[in-house]
Amino acid sequence: MSQTIRLLPFAGADGATNMSADEALLESAAHGGASLRFYTWTEPTLSLGYFQHAAERATDANLAGLAWVRRSTGGAAIVHHHELTYALALPPGKPWASPENWICRFHHVVQAVLADRGVKSHAVVCGEEQKLGPVVCFLHQTPGDLLVGGSKVAGSAQRKMRGALLQHGSILLRRSELVPHLAGICDAPGAPEFASEELADALKVAFAADTGWAVTPGEWTPEERSRTAAIRAEKYANREWNEKR
């Protein structure tokens, strides 16, 4: 029998709200609810990996002046600007397991959507990883990352809770003046223009085809909205929590 995963409405929010909402989805997944959402950011925002030092923001003048938030997942800093972000929250148990690591699998879904639109991409495999600079995640190419023309355009990270999985990641659409050395999908020669919501719709269809799951539009529950607000106040909008490292 096909699994059913809830597709939440496409939306934009500030960094603290986005990270709190993702954590609320992880809590729901731990209680059996599977969710997928695509979202954007209402202002250019720097997110630091959970273990990253807050002082690293000061190493780049463009980064130091940005709104910022700490993620619940690891990795390096990401500038969320001209991009599409996704979050996938899956309950524990065999029906939600994947024979392939979920980061690689989701990036292969992205790769298929790009290929349908004439954009050639390449997934990093073991032995090919390289670090091209400090602080910023998209200068660190690790196994499973997706590259277009040598530039990293998709990277993801995970967190687990009581066997449930949260995976969220960034899909870089266009170059940002804040990190001009990072090219996006649409900056590749001959690449078509993508609107973030258009890409989200295509990924939803491709994800359903890849998994065989029913991807069903749904809404946030009252409890999830309440938990998002509570988590936001406790963590992601709390300066002390963000600066704890």
On the CB side of 117, CA atoms within 13 Å amount to: 21
| Structure token pair of residue 223 | 């409890």
Q: Which of 104, 126, 137, 186 is catalytic?
A: 137
**Nearest-angstrom CA–CA distance, 186 and 181:** 14
Q: Is 137 a catalytic residue?
A: yes
Describe the crossing of helices 196-211 and 102-116 by its angle, rounded to 10 degrees.
120
Q: What is the residue type of 241? A: W
CA torsion, ordered 124, 135, 21, 204, to nearest 10 deg: -20
Q: Which sequence positions are flagged as catalytic?
A: 137
